[in-house]
Structure 1
């Protein structure tokens, strides 16, 4: 008789899968690469390093987003909420592949701290999910709102001549805004201001570390 996995067993299995994914090259994205056919003009070495740093932040952010949604899905009580979270996680996987491909084009590499962020973000996702499905969806909404804001900031920093990076970030922003709207439509509860502030503080730490390492 096959033993039913406990919640802890499932969590450890999911973390193991996530760490393996974070450490390995991303698979080909499930949908078209937004930068395909876009211009990529010559740039200075300083510009290349800066753009690569921004893309590295986004790559790490996608690892963290997948972990959040996997953690939330693990403890979701309603099947349709779990399905929503897992679908969002799959789309973040597409974003991860886009960012990794762009880093390769820029002769750079993903952050070395990605696996650590997966573990930490998975734990945060579980905590958010245990608060209840409405709060969990509210966490999705706020996460996506903050991600869309930082993508807008990155777009403002990337030169118009780098149409490849801009196309990727613009499509990612559109997808994140859609995820947030879907979470609100599904009944997401607005989070308290102190939780939003804590989320911003954690995101700032991730950005600083991923840009440099």
Structure 2
């Protein structure tokens, strides 16, 4: 297996960014959850709301790609880097699934996806430079907050939209796994102000904006 140089990794990261923003990455190839369930009969208002929620989740997965790629680029430990890259690959499945549901519901991607990706990549790279323990801790806390966010979406999705619910339920399971894995690898708990003030504030701006744009 060829050893990747820093330039190789930079080019791979650029390719991933382009695929994330303008195409659909392959991911692991897992099938779309709920594909065997019937498409729900929704009112126009319900369809619009469900589509916007899936757009928010798609934007969140774009951010996750930026975060993981930034962290993988600056990770010092090869095991940590491989963990980030593997998690990013599984998150690509989420991108595909959210896109499939947006297509079915008549929703479009967030127009601000390049901004979400660039901002998250920068944060991920900074976390990686701070050290692998902090980088892993950032992943663990991010995934905990995403889990909470998905719980809220499952509560507000139209009850009849079983296909979207199946997608979000599997995403939630994956996020829990990614967060636990990061902490098991030695992630450090982030300072209270980062966990309780900074990260929720940034998340609120992104989710509210992506819902409409």
TM-score by length of structure 1 reads 0.92
State the distance in 2 between where 1:28 and 1:122 align: 20
What whole-Å deviation, never above 9, does each CA across 1:37-63 have from its counterpart, x for those lacking one?
Answer: 113221111111111110000000001
Return the offset for 1:23.
Answer: 3.1
Query: 1:152 aligned to 2:159?
Result: no
Aligned residue-pair number: 207
For 1:77, what is the secondary structure of its paired residue?
coil
Structure 2: where are the runs of 5+ without partners? none
Structure 1 residues 117-156: aligned runs within 5 Å:
117-156=116-155
Deviates more, 1:193-202 or 1:174-183: 193-202
8 Å contact kept, 1:39–1:161: no
Q: Distance in 2 between matches of 1:106 and 1:206?
A: 21
Q: Could you tell which deviates more after superposition, 54-63 or 194-203?
A: 194-203
Counterpart of 1:199? 199
Query: What residue in structure 1 maps to residue 14 of structure 2?
Result: 16
Contact 1:35–1:168 at 8 Å: present in 2 too? Answer: yes
Distance 2:13 2:202 in 1: 20
Runs of 4+ that moved beyond 4 A: none
- Given that residues 18 and 118 in structure 1 are in contact (C-alpha distance below 8 angstroms), is that contact kept between their aligned partners in structure 2? no
Give, in angstroms, the shift of residue 160 of structure 1. Answer: 2.3
- Cα offsets for 1:140-166 (capped at 9, x unmatched): 000000001000000000122110000
Q: How far, CA to CA, are the matches of 1:107 and 1:124 in structure 2? A: 32
Whether the aligned pair in 2 keeps the contact of 1:15 and 1:119 (CA below 8 Å) is no
CA distance in 1, matches of 2:165, 2:157: 7
TM-score normalised by structure 2 residue count: 0.92
RMSD: 1.6
Alpha-carbon distance in 2 for matches of 1:64, 1:115: 9
Tell me the CA shift for residue 14 of structure 1: 5.5
| Inter-partner Cα distance in structure 2 for 1:5 and 1:185 | 27
